[in-house]
Structure 1
């Protein structure tokens, strides 16, 4: 069974996360993603990781999975000529350089369109391709701050916090992949490519629900609220006898009634202090404390069994070891295991979303630097051995 993008060739010039995450999504669904890297250093992501057994990144094999790696020095005229040749037979080019970089290399959209009018140029940056901030250096963390997510993340009595992953970069990559597919669809009608311009801060802003009208119309500023959403109760993490955190979401009237019955206090659901969504929201803290006293009497597994049987949404706050041992993860193959040439069995998250007839798949871990040079340059561009060896001698590849 083929993925839906098996007829699409993508050139990925980006590094780190924002651009490569776009390529990662497209490659998962069958696109032939050729990652173009600097011959001397490669993508810095190859060297970034909290834990690097034997100097091997644990992040790069995931974000570069299903891709091919070629090396090419785009700062040289010969390297730029090679990229033009690659662009001629490609559908998409993804980059996350600062605006103007491709233009300085003679590889701007106008030039790429001259070479291949059907080429789609996907540009991922901190602030977008235009506007007064376009030329600023923009990392994902800055985009998260500007887009609003940092201001509402963390405890109210502490400085703003970050989410434990590179959320802004990954969001920008995801929206870029969506934009790529839309541009491919539009190309079937127009026959022409276009620019997909994704800003990290705008990708974060897209998640911010009613943040703007809450301030502009209602005069209310969202603040950091820790593990709760204000006035949404009960919906929080609660303690257990064995020290685990269990999240319970019982803020809907009917679900709250089921929780009260399970706790042995069915009348609480009809008590005017808690009978409505608004009333519970006004007494959020006292309600959470009351429920916490009850949950502390049970081990987490016993508590979850009771909650699930009663039809109350609940779940453990998972760590990696919980995911690897969970039967639901296993049944849906949410985690796949591939063999890494240096690290052996390598677990990673599977493809999302699932598709019934043209599913994506994880076929390979991230490649070695330049692993596919000969395959691409000699196979796709029909470069002879002498030319290839000359490029190597000149350190163009």
Structure 2
């Protein structure tokens, strides 16, 4: 794998020519910008001027593991960074001028903040009727909770996620990633694309209102209908989905392995691979409902078999039998896996500090207009001020120096 230089490949993405102003910070807004940038949009990221880690820049610049703030390298790729003090009237005026030349605005401030800065959707649409405004917040732009502060974990709790994650005899757990923020960002990007199609037809922009708790609620499957119809309340169930069997992580001689064989014919193939084909017709396991009722004892039977094998032996058996199964991958496994390599699932970015940064590639893959990682994350706050403010707003070096001296940029 050769490292992608900066600048990298040509922009072949379907959003090439679309200009996005990203005013969000931390995770949800910037991840929405990353998704659009990966697909070819020109992302202009506004950050507070000042020293990194002391009020200047997006806090994501220093988030990570100690001296390795690698999250920024992913979430800020394909972006141009400019500084702009949005709490200063002159900074607000600069932002307004940039937004007037944009297709999409992304923000994830508390509802009412844009309005306080004189940048309400109504005023922005008065100057740029085709503008699409993606607003990501904890509770949405309306409703009795809208003014509350809301982070991803709060959205996960309100949307129903946290209550059902973890072991039943322990407090509610969480995923090891910020799934609430990422979901709200993804739905924000989806809304922006839908709004772009509407604009193609009408010429008019609109507001995309993506609430963290609603983004989580959207992926909660049948949790609400089950309760509505029968009063059933789904609870924490550890590593299994109650009634879905067998589908679990099973012990091996040298680790753990995931098997999902809950469909009837697949279960039959698993039983044959185990050398116990009679289990497939046993009345306790012959149907989906029966397996669900006897889930614990079935998992115990399978575990008694898997712990006699190594992970590699078990994987070979599952592949031969055509049973969906797989290793629990960690980064080293991903970097060494031939399937990841064949599909370029991970790329390398040349970096002056890190030498090479490996990270996830652009997804999904488009056959005709694939997205690309074209430039690494901005190193300094305002590193593209001259480029953006000069080309788009016509400000010269003296004007930029004056604005910087007065803390506007």
Q: Same fold (TM over 0.5)?
A: yes
Offset, 1:258: 0.8
Q: How does 1:244-259 map to 2 (within 5 A)?
A: 244-259=255-270
* TM-score after normalising by structure 2: 0.95
Aligned to 1:125: 137
Aligned to 2:112: 100
Establish whether residue 170 from structure 1 lines up as the match of residue 185 from structure 2: no
Establish whether residue 206 from structure 1 lines up as the match of residue 221 from structure 2: no
Equivalent-residue separation in structure 1 for 2:242 and 2:97 (angstroms):
56
Aligned to 1:385: 397
Deviations 1:91-115 (A, max 9, x none): 1110001111111111111110111
The gaps in structure 1 that reach 5 residues or longer are none
Aligned to 2:282: 271
CA RMSD across the alignment: 0.9
Equivalent-residue separation in structure 2 for 1:14 and 1:98 (angstroms):
10
Offset, 1:365: 2.0
- Secondary structure, counterpart of 1:217 in structure 2: helix
Aligned to 1:225: 237
Equivalent-residue separation in structure 2 for 1:292 and 1:51 (angstroms):
39
- Secondary structure, counterpart of 2:176 in structure 1: coil
Offset, 1:193: 0.8
Aligned to 1:52: 67
Aligned to 2:146: 134
Equivalenced residues, count = 393
Aligned to 1:21: 31
- Secondary structure, counterpart of 1:236 in structure 2: strand
Report runs of 4+ in structure 1 exceeding 6 Å deviation: none
Establish whether residue 70 from structure 1 lines up as the match of residue 82 from structure 2: yes
Q: How does 1:1-397 map to 2 (within 5 A)?
A: 2-40=12-50, 41-53=56-68, 57-242=69-254, 244-368=255-379, 369-397=381-409
The gaps in structure 2 that reach 5 residues or longer are 1-10, 51-55
Equivalent-residue separation in structure 1 for 2:161 and 2:13 (angstroms):
34
Equivalent-residue separation in structure 2 for 1:271 and 1:145 (angstroms):
40
Equivalent-residue separation in structure 1 for 2:142 and 2:193 (angstroms):
23
Equivalent-residue separation in structure 1 for 2:211 and 2:65 (angstroms):
27
Equivalent-residue separation in structure 2 for 1:202 and 1:272 (angstroms):
41
Offset, 1:341: 2.0
Equivalent-residue separation in structure 2 for 1:305 and 1:363 (angstroms):
39
- Secondary structure, counterpart of 2:20 in structure 1: strand
Q: Note if contact 2:78-2:376 (Cα within 8 Å) is conserved in structure 1.
A: yes
